Structure 1
């Protein structure tokens, strides 16, 4: 009899331990404030690995429902920052239907979109050709230009099912110091052979006109381009060599 009671207690302890182990990942997800839910499109997928909006890495084992994704598929993803690469990694990916609101809901609350500025016209613009924004929702100091990678909070308008951004900011930006202007052509130019700038959107000190070989400091943002993946937002002269 004592042996039977001992076995029963051991079984209960194992069951309780197993339940705690299953519940632990859920608690971690609920308590981790660095996680974000984003919406985007699969832009690359091969051999079980893929990218969402060319920025968010994911593997096939995090896709729910055993859905076989393909390039162009709309998805929502729970995203965390990868501690090794400091890039974005999806820990859960859900495929969306092709309905107007993507998930069949009428929720008009804000959502997060990683994307590229696809057009700017008369003070208004579009992200990924689908989400509209006006310049008054853009963060201070940032003047969007076609090709810039951005992060936008947007809502779905319940009357038209259209997407409208309520905030827009650059995805990544950085400062570069004492770099050289290597080329100029009309109103466009290049710094260090890899940073694009245009006088149409460049902030300059009063009276300064950029010239080839100028040594400058600049604030740059990431953009979608095969050669020039950064664009200068502002530039100040450090030294003129010629």
Structure 2
């Protein structure tokens, strides 16, 4: 899945999240992001920094983990929301000399997308799905204080790349446009 609307051509610089089939050991790109501008205006060679895509494995009050041993402080994350397990992040890092440990410099969402007038297609307690592909959980959703997402509500959402069961996006913000009112009540 391409994370931006820039068409891919031979020679286009990309960064990819790759999954390996455990049986065949064949690798397949899950997400691909085109790299058109250097991160924060710096050249890679100038700082000997590299980019990679990582998936959040857990989040504590102070740290965000991208695997069992690798974490970074929450303050390094440049997004306007708290990452959630499964979110895909673009990590700028360098390797500590003489080790296999990463020095993480900046972290941001892999990509985000504004989606207007989309429909809540399922709800289950504090979780749900918008347009059958955007996962949300009220525990991490920015929304009006008095609003609880309901089935068939029409909403505007901001979503980020995420790996959730049957979904490739996670809503980080939701604002109701039109709420469905059950006529049977």
Structure 1 SS opposite 2:177: strand
**Residue 201 of structure 1 aligns with which residue?**
140
Ranges in structure 2 where 5+ consecutive residues have no aligned partner: 1-10, 36-46
Higher relative contact order (CA 8 A, sep 6+): 2
C-alpha distance in 1, partners of 2:69/2:102? 7
**Residue 229 of structure 1 aligns with which residue?**
168
User: Are the aligned partners of 1:179 and 1:215 in contact in 2 as well (CA < 8 Å)?
Assistant: yes
Query: Relative to total residues, which structure has the larger helix share, 1 or 2?
Result: 1
Deviations 1:45-89 (A, max 9, x none): 9x9x8446x335xxxxxxxxxxxxxxxxxxxxxxx949xxxxxxx
C-alpha distance in 1, partners of 2:132/2:55? 22
**Residue 94 of structure 2 aligns with which residue?**
155
Instruction: Give the TM-score, by structure 2 length.
Output: 0.70
Taking a change above 3 Å as real, the CA distance of residues 156 and 181 of structure 1, as seen in their structure-2 partners, is same
Is residue 2:95 matched to residue 1:146?
no
Instruction: Give the TM-score, by structure 1 length.
Output: 0.55
Q: CA RMSD in A?
A: 3.4
Ranges in structure 1 where 5+ consecutive residues have no aligned partner: 1-31, 57-79, 83-107
**Residue 31 of structure 2 aligns with which residue?**
55
- Count of residues in correspondence between the two structures: 160
Structure 2 SS opposite 1:184: strand
Structure 2 SS opposite 1:224: strand
C-alpha distance in 1, partners of 2:130/2:169? 10
